[in-house]
Every structure is written in C-alpha cells, then in structure tokens.
Amino acid sequence: MLDAFSRRCVGWHLSRDIDTRLTLAALERGLTERRPPAGLIHHSDRGVQYASGNPFDNAKAESFFKTLKTGEVYLKEYQDFAEAKDNLGPFIEAVYNHKRLHSALGYLPPAEFESAFRENDDEPAGLA
C-alpha cells in the first residue's frame, strides 16, 4: 500500500495466497502506520488476477513493484518463504522508503520528502 502523495510504502504483507486476508493485512498495517483521519481515500485497481485490470490504472504501484523486484527479489536466492519475508521488510523500509530517489519528489526519497513537507508546516491530513 503506497501513499500517493509521498510514494512511501506504508502497508505491505507477504503471503503464499492472493486472497482477502493478504489484502486486509496490508491495509491494516498501513492504517496502523498512518492513523489517517476520517475521509481517507483508498484506491485499489483490484489487480489483474481479480478483474483483468490494466497495469496503467495504478502506475505508482507498478513502479514500486518493479523497484522491489529489481532491487531486491531478482538479486537474491531465498532459501524459503521466511527468508523472503525477512528480507523484503528491511528493503522496503531502509532502501525504498529512505534511500530510493524519486524524480516526482524532487529526487528525494519518500521519508525525506515527507520530512521536508512537515518542516514547511503544510502537513496534509493523515501524514504521520
């Protein structure tokens, strides 16, 4: 789950199954992380496996997954599911959220972009 404003990954979960529990776990993690006020807009393209969705419907998410795959998944040979899970979280938080530069954010990583925005005292609702 990405914050569309800052591109920060705020909710994720890894599962062996693509089902409702997977989606709800990622959503719950994002809600816990952000604690958004009433009025939050949550967008989902529902995914190609559910509705033959067009990947261009959610370009930010597609870009995130490309970064995750090329920066972490394709570079490792995980021995098992637990090892994959143990490696994905640190990559998302340490690399993607705190180091990965985004041209749309003035070549700042998401966490730094949010900090700079907060310093300007123009914090949008729900930006924790």
CB atoms within 10 A of CB 34: 17
Are 6 and 105 spatial neighbours (Cβ–Cβ below 8 Å)? Answer: yes
Q: Is the pLDDT of residue 125 over 60?
A: no
Q: How far apart are CA 88 and CA 99, in angstroms?
A: 15
Per-residue model confidence as pLDDT tens digits over 70-110: 999 999 999 999 999 999 999 999 999 999 999 999 999 99
Predicted local confidence at residue 82, as pLDDT: 95
Predicted local confidence at residue 55, as pLDDT: 58
Of 44, 49, 59, 45, residue with least CA distance to 18: 49
Backbone angles phi, psi at 108, to 5 degrees: -115, 150
Q: Mean pLDDT over all residues of the chain?
A: 86
Which tokens sit at 65? 């997954």
Which tokens sit at 41? 């807009």
Domain boundaries, the chain: 20-119
pLDDT band of residue 26 (cuts 50, 70, 90) is very high
Q: How far apart are CA 7 and CA 61, in angstroms?
A: 9
pLDDT band of residue 45 (cuts 50, 70, 90) is low
Are 6 and 114 spatial neighbours (Cβ–Cβ below 8 Å)? Answer: yes
Q: How far apart are CA 117 and CA 97, in angstroms?
A: 15
